[in-house]
Structure 1
Amino acid sequence: MKLLKKSLKIVLLLLVLLSVGVWLFTKTLHPTYEGELQLASISDKVTVFYDEVGVPHITAQNQQDAYIALGYVHAQDRLWQMELIRRISAGRLAEVFGKDLVRVDKFFSGLGIEEAAEKTIQELDKNSEAYKLTEAYLNGVNQFIEEGATPLEFYLVGLEKENYTIKDVYNVFGYMAFSFAVAHKTDPLLTEVKEKLGESYVNELLSSYNENLTLNKTTNKKTIHADFSIAVNEIMDKLPVSPFIGSNSWVIAPPKTKNGKVIFANDPHIAYSQPSVWYQNHIKTPDFEIYGFNLALMPFPLLGHNTNYAYGLTMLANDDLNFYVEENNPEDPMEYKTPEGYQKYELWDKHIKVKGGKDTTYQVKVSKHGPIMNGLMEQVKDKRPIATNWIYTQLPNKLLEVSYKMSHANSLQDFKTGAAQIHAPGLNVMYGDAKGNVGWFASAKLYELRDSLSSKMYLNGASGKDEIIAYLDFEENPQAENPSWNYVYSANNQPDSVRGKLYPGYYQPEDRAKRIVELLEPKNDFTKQDVAEMIYDVTSPVVPEIGRELLASVDKSSLSPSAKKAYSVLEKWDGEYLKTNVAPTIYNRFLYEFLTATFKDDLGKSFQLFIDSQLQDQVLAQLAKREQSVWWDDVSTTDKVETRNEIITTAFQKAIAFLQNQLGENVDDWTWNRVISVEYEHAIGKAGGLLRKFFNVGPFETIGGNEVINNQIFKLDSTGVYKIHAGPSTRRVIDFSDVENSIAIMPTGQSGNVFSPYYKDQAQKYVDGEFVRMNLNEEDIKKNKNKLVFLPKK
């Protein structure tokens, strides 16, 4: 018995020592928010005050010192995020996560992002301020790598830290550009619809693009197996870093505001993750100031403001990626046909390291149009060589200079010269300033193809007839400066005409655009609070109309009492997505059953790809009105041809039966909060179990839904449970009548370090529609208790 007691005491002591050891170890992993540290390469003291939500306010005597400090503090909060995002375009995720990510690495490394980066870097002006400040920022990042605490994630996956170079910055640009592109998901699907179902099917889909539009007005009037699309969709789903999706922004001119000053709003829509995608920071020197939102490894903010001006962005959704079908030489598969004869493919040798597995080597064949994608994804069964022609890698890349210029502009015209240099991804760049100017610029290298040629189909690479004829001058791009209607806005919707016709792209349906205009038009006394409420708005002006169009074809005589009550609820719906609303639950299940009955028999395994796509969103409003459609007939029933009424009535009955089984017989209990939720997933937290609880943030109940201003994006599927996967990556409201008290919010928190008090401190405020201050007042900033001082290293 004595021996047992002694053994238990020893075990207890060991457990206590282990717990203390773990606790002491984790204390070394916390970010440093106060005290003094020495930094090499700075010339003078740099002071960093951390405010109540962990935003660093950096004060330095010169920009060189400020950007070194920014690199250091950014890395200590977000090094793990930096590590993941720099590996995507380089094809290096399998080094961290093993063989499951080889497909992702193979795809991204074959896009030519690294090759384009190397060419760009060779041609950079090493004496430019943009280059020198980028090197200063990377200096700070690398000093943290060498001297700061290693994030917990590196220990968990067994990863050694590596220093960063300017090539990593360009790899981040490349990933951002690709995630904005939509063609890789849509063009192969449309091509297969045309080739396997016929012209009438694809024409009906494409004709919807010119219907139900809220145009963004300008002031410069001058059984389908879509293997490629499915494969790209699967690859994007596996990424441990957020892809970019959409966005809202509007800028209200002084005549429409109560205080006679510009009010600026922006909320870029990006896939949710933990940490949040943006890193807030405030830099002030004697000759410069910016409060910015930076992506990982980007020294200059893509969203920013100071006391003089504010800027932000949304996705333009223009078509900057085309697919060309090449024709191999029958005598030599290493050659392809051109109008001038056969040419040799360029060859890129690629090597992928695989954690816990055998390394992979392969070659990428490259035509004049771009890399051949067939060999990069085993799912692609097409025998024809398909080249990806992407403007991002085809034209000179000036994104470093662009981001520098936008954050260092001295006037609207100065700012515009920066926006004009954007080639890809296409962006709606939004602007407002203290002088009362407002502006919207569709910034991209827009181009022309020959008449009648659709960029949404595979193009002929061998004929020479499907090449880009001309690139447009920036002044021809859709844009508006100080328009007579006193506001500018963007919701990824169709911009007004270019050269007399609507410019093709992958624009979102009119829902958010229509709601923004609906709220902006009648009011001329906007305040900051009005705009804060508007950016959290969850009413769609479009989906109730779609619902009623569909209900008109439902045979009410065939409905049960519960189904009739559900019919009445949906018929009276005003489009609001609140937690206690029942109509959104009914509508989204009805929509899924309607889309299933209409498209699944024809599209087969590509059906889920289609209903998750922007294409389905664009088609829906017009399809709901069609009395006749080639899609109505269910091809699986050979003895009859279904009518619109039969398809829709059956879909509604199935929806009600599903909801009764899922949520109970009482329609009043089918509230929206029972089926929708949001959780911000960490790359390691996705593994589940204790890691999920430790690293992930949430889940939370929330309001909102697809294509409302507070865009909470989810996928429709058979489960009837809606896991929100994307939405506003930040909400910002800048009021130039009180610019020092402008407001913003992040989905989770400022830090990506799980031991930081700022890891998830904004999460509940975010889902509740609250904001925190973006402080520009120097006296207030100095009152913050957390003060970190960087001194020159001796």
Structure 2
Amino acid sequence: MKRIKVIGVVVLVLLVVSAIFAGVSVQALSPTYEGESKLSKLSHETKVYYDSYGIPHIYADNEDDAFRTLGYVHAQDRLWQMELLRRIGTGRLSEVFGSKMLNTDKFFLSLGIDEATKQTVSELDLNSPTVRLSQAYLDGINQFIEEGPTPIEFYLTGIDKAPFQLEDIYNTVGYMAFSFAMAHKTDPLLTNIKDKLGAEYLKDLDLNVDPNTVWIKNHKEESKEALHNSIASSVTKALGALSLPLIEGSNSWVIAPEKTKNGKVIFANDPHIGFSQPAVWYEAHINTPNFEKYGYFMGGMPFPLLAHDRNLAYGMTMFENDDIDFFYEESHPTEKEKYRTKEGWSTYEKVNKIIKIKDSTDFEFTYRKTVHGPILNGIADQVKGERPIAMWWMFTQHKNELMDALYGMTHARNKTEFQNALPKIHAPGLNIMYGDAEGNVAWWASAKIYKDANSAHTKFVLQDTSDLKAPERYLDFSENPQAINPPWNYVYSANNQPDSIAGMQYPGYYLPENRAKRIVGLLEAKNDWTIDDVKGMINDVVSSVNPSIITDLNGVVNREELSGAQISVLDKLLVWKGENNLDNIEPTVFHRWIYFFLKNTFVDELGEEMFDQFLSTHLLKRTIAPMAAKNESIWWDNIETQSVVETKTQIVTESFVQAFEYLENDLGADNGAWTWEKVHTLEHPHPIGQVEALRSFFNVGPFPVEGTREVINNMAFNYDGDGMHHVTAGPSTRRVIDFSDIENSMSILPTGQSGNPFSEHYDDQAEMYVKGEFRKMLMNEKEIKETSKSLLTFKPTE
């Protein structure tokens, strides 16, 4: 019966698509890249030159006209993406996809993003330049909604187009902020491990930072003369199924003139975000008599998060600081509507919400809030038991000035003006990377950081009544980790732990040293960097850590239990230099071995559910190398075998044999054919591509792809039992900006500029991307106009 139902749905979708094609021509559904059009509220004519990759170069007489034009052209390529992004934080996905998104909508509504947005917008200065340009951008979006063709996804899902408002910008910001958070995957899990197994089992998980690891070094500028997984795992899975981009990590480095061949700054950045179609960034180049910026924009946001001009360049990585905490609340023994606070008993606040569900009746629910935040019992399925757990989130607890920060960064003319905008970033925490034509390089960890009795122990559900709206103190921005023009002549970030400059460590969910170690090793070894060198480095696929893991594991392997073929493969691993190219077999064997090593080490104590949660955390990534190096650990013993105590040798040897047998069964007896290209692939999924009959039309790929987890060309995938490493996240763009030749700076997108499947720019960069190729970010006006593929002119309405 279920199979018949599925077939019926597919047939219905195909009939709808056929009807659309029959009733509307493909041309009518495609973006308009040339011709003339009227645009309301324009003061002067604007021209949009589209280059050969569909990137708009907007020429206007003033910023208001430029941003109004940007809104229109952004919408015609990405309206469907904008629509989904504005719905997530306000719990409106069920309107589009039905009841399967109900739990996700409940969760996001309980976070309070919508309430925080209402508060923020109510306090905006409507005459500020931030709001004025934001409104101009929205005007452009809304005119396209009113006059432009309806994207095919709206037909297929049956939803209507609706105007965008200022609230939509801030709701998208809220979703972006939450997608950075790692605490919701880690804190409840660690609390469960401690409660289930005891604190002794946490010692080997290296919760604190190893002092021997690679840290990001701080440096105050000198004068020139001186030279949790569990709470939101269902949410994560649901959003992943919808192919919505989640922020995963990033690399960036900026090389000072002293280390470059041409004596000018070279800037590199590749933010790591979940792969999706369309990809997250929309490129646009804006030019007015008083303003120019080449930027990377998120759907529905008027200011770029990554950008450059002739004077400066900036980008970002995740800071990975801890800006979410969980608290056990104590309910009154007889008056269940009350809970304990430092001042005595307070009443739970009750919040009522209604979720509209496609093809069903509305769903009404109520959740409770405390001074810390929403109670997640009954909201997040993984929060079990009667004891209330509240979630405190920096984003909703403080004033949201991120759009003002982005405006300031976008309009800064020098390092001082740029730095002055950064204290307005409170959450999510970002490493802001900077370089300029004057030779300055800088990195700032930008976030609201606090010192409190709990601030160094935030990876568990806390059991006191602290009010983190009033901690001991918030640090001044000058106390945040940062490095400005350091004497080692570069700055970098790879989501790894920063050193302290305020007498404290900054608790967070930092990634292991793997990428940082490789970046530092390459940068230190060379003093004549060129743009071509940096392009090669940003595509680097060598792990500086994985070969040492092999060495540690090999040291305890019992070779007497291995066959000749198994020993031969192990010997290949021992001379492996850490490359992850398509024709290598070593990464194929390595990752199967590590998967079984982790499973045989942890699953007996954790159980399958908690083990799967553990696999999705940054903590797991940080655990692999230390566990491989340990000789003794409480985790080695399999608690299911009462009569014997297992050793590391048994675990490691058994895991290698299992990996070998698995690969032999799956890829054949010829281990020389176990190449990385057979198991490591990238497909860019579109939400509608979940319907198998429409997959090839909406999705892009799959492609065999080089790279792996935690190398510079970071192609992330989940460890699981199927042995196929389907890449889920990686570089959302690769940008290299050379201030010695700014007009020939280079970039690439994972698929294409347009999110419209009828556009020729839907996937025209996809094969270039997997090959590690680049294209120019055009800035020379003469070159742009001479090579432009099409011209779209907007005229004021009369």
**Fold match, TM over 0.5?**
yes
Residue type of the partner of 1:407?
T
Alignment of 1:72-83 (within 5 A): 72-83=72-83
Q: Secondary structure at the match of 1:414?
A: helix
Deviates more, 1:342-351 or 1:723-732: 342-351
**What is residue 653 of structure 2 aligned with on the other side?**
649
**What is residue 196 of structure 1 aligned with on the other side?**
196
Match of 2:337 among 314, 334, 347: 334
5+ long unaligned stretches in structure 2 = 1-14, 223-227
- The 1:29/1:613 distance shift into structure 2, 3 A limit, reads same
Give the Å deviation of 1:22: 2.6
- Aligned equivalents of 2:20, 2:299: Cα separation in 1: 34
Match of 2:256 among 242, 246, 253: 253
**Alpha-carbon contact 1:231-1:380 (below 8 Å) kept:** no
Residue type of the partner of 1:659?
L
- Aligned equivalents of 2:324, 2:468: Cα separation in 1: 17
Q: Secondary structure at the match of 1:760?
A: coil
Matched, 1:621 2:642: no
What RMSD over aligned residues (CA atoms) do the two structures have, in Å? 1.8
Q: Secondary structure at the match of 1:347?
A: strand
**What is residue 795 of structure 2 aligned with on the other side?**
791
1:431-454 Cα offsets, whole Å, 9 max, x none, are 000010010000001111217951
Alignment of 1:514-663 (within 5 A): 514-604=517-607, 605-663=609-667
Give the Å deviation of 1:203: 2.6
**What is residue 668 of structure 2 aligned with on the other side?**
664
Give the Å deviation of 1:58: 0.3
- Aligned equivalents of 2:176, 2:685: Cα separation in 1: 19
Give the Å deviation of 1:411: 1.1
- Aligned equivalents of 1:603, 1:305: Cα separation in 2: 47
- Aligned equivalents of 1:660, 1:344: Cα separation in 2: 62
TM-score by length of structure 1 reads 0.95
Matched, 1:344 2:347: yes
**What is residue 122 of structure 2 aligned with on the other side?**
122
Matched, 1:692 2:698: no
**Alpha-carbon contact 1:208-1:618 (below 8 Å) kept:** no
**What is residue 375 of structure 2 aligned with on the other side?**
372
1:591-633 Cα offsets, whole Å, 9 max, x none, are 0110011000011121111122111111111111111101110
Deviates more, 1:756-765 or 1:467-476: 467-476
**Alpha-carbon contact 2:277-2:755 (below 8 Å) kept:** yes
**What is residue 5 of structure 2 aligned with on the other side?**
none
**What is residue 104 of structure 2 aligned with on the other side?**
104
- Aligned equivalents of 1:737, 1:588: Cα separation in 2: 41
Give the Å deviation of 1:359: 1.4
Deviates more, 1:573-582 or 1:345-354: 345-354
- Aligned equivalents of 1:242, 1:229: Cα separation in 2: 16
Residue type of the partner of 1:70?
L
**What is residue 497 of structure 2 aligned with on the other side?**
494
**Alpha-carbon contact 2:372-2:467 (below 8 Å) kept:** no
Match of 1:305 among 304, 308, 317: 308
Residue type of the partner of 1:460?
Q
1:366-391 Cα offsets, whole Å, 9 max, x none, are 11111111121234213211111000
- Aligned equivalents of 2:80, 2:719: Cα separation in 1: 32
- Aligned equivalents of 1:182, 1:19: Cα separation in 2: 44
Residue type of the partner of 1:573?
W
Match of 2:684 among 676, 680, 687: 680
**What is residue 4 of structure 2 aligned with on the other side?**
none
- Aligned equivalents of 1:667, 1:173: Cα separation in 2: 48
Q: Secondary structure at the match of 2:793?
A: strand
**Alpha-carbon contact 2:218-2:501 (below 8 Å) kept:** no
- The 1:622/1:142 distance shift into structure 2, 3 A limit, reads same
- The 1:153/1:548 distance shift into structure 2, 3 A limit, reads same
Residue type of the partner of 1:642?
E
**Alpha-carbon contact 1:602-1:635 (below 8 Å) kept:** yes
- Aligned equivalents of 1:580, 1:204: Cα separation in 2: 35
- Aligned equivalents of 1:21, 1:538: Cα separation in 2: 43
- Aligned equivalents of 1:600, 1:21: Cα separation in 2: 51
Q: Secondary structure at the match of 1:164?
A: coil
1:118-140 Cα offsets, whole Å, 9 max, x none, are 11111111111011000000000
Q: Secondary structure at the match of 1:209?
A: coil
Give the Å deviation of 1:25: 2.3
**What is residue 294 of structure 1 aligned with on the other side?**
297
Match of 2:457 among 454, 457, 465: 454
1:184-225 Cα offsets, whole Å, 9 max, x none, are 000000011111100111132145632552110001399xx9
**Alpha-carbon contact 1:579-1:702 (below 8 Å) kept:** yes
1:312-348 Cα offsets, whole Å, 9 max, x none, are 0000000000001111122222221112111122222
Q: Secondary structure at the match of 2:268?
A: strand
**What is residue 37 of structure 2 aligned with on the other side?**
37
- The 1:781/1:650 distance shift into structure 2, 3 A limit, reads same
**Alpha-carbon contact 2:220-2:486 (below 8 Å) kept:** no
- Aligned equivalents of 1:492, 1:341: Cα separation in 2: 41
TM-score by length of structure 2 reads 0.95
- Aligned equivalents of 2:217, 2:242: Cα separation in 1: 36
- The 1:452/1:468 distance shift into structure 2, 3 A limit, reads closer
Alignment of 1:203-214 (within 5 A): 203-207=203-207, 209-210=209-210, 212-214=212-214
5+ long unaligned stretches in structure 1 = 1-14
Matched, 1:264 2:267: yes
Q: Secondary structure at the match of 2:336?
A: strand
Q: Secondary structure at the match of 1:791?
A: strand
- Aligned equivalents of 1:235, 1:417: Cα separation in 2: 38
Alignment of 1:309-324 (within 5 A): 309-324=312-327
**Alpha-carbon contact 1:326-1:385 (below 8 Å) kept:** yes
- The 1:211/1:356 distance shift into structure 2, 3 A limit, reads farther
**What is residue 472 of structure 1 aligned with on the other side?**
475
Give the Å deviation of 1:285: 0.4
Match of 1:396 among 394, 399, 415: 399
Give the Å deviation of 1:54: 0.4
**Alpha-carbon contact 2:326-2:392 (below 8 Å) kept:** yes
Q: What's the % identity of the aligned pairs?
A: 51
Deviates more, 1:667-676 or 1:210-219: 210-219
Give the Å deviation of 1:232: 4.5
**What is residue 748 of structure 1 aligned with on the other side?**
751
Match of 2:510 among 507, 511, 516: 507
Give the Å deviation of 1:239: 4.3
- The 1:793/1:207 distance shift into structure 2, 3 A limit, reads closer
Deviates more, 1:604-613 or 1:107-116: 604-613
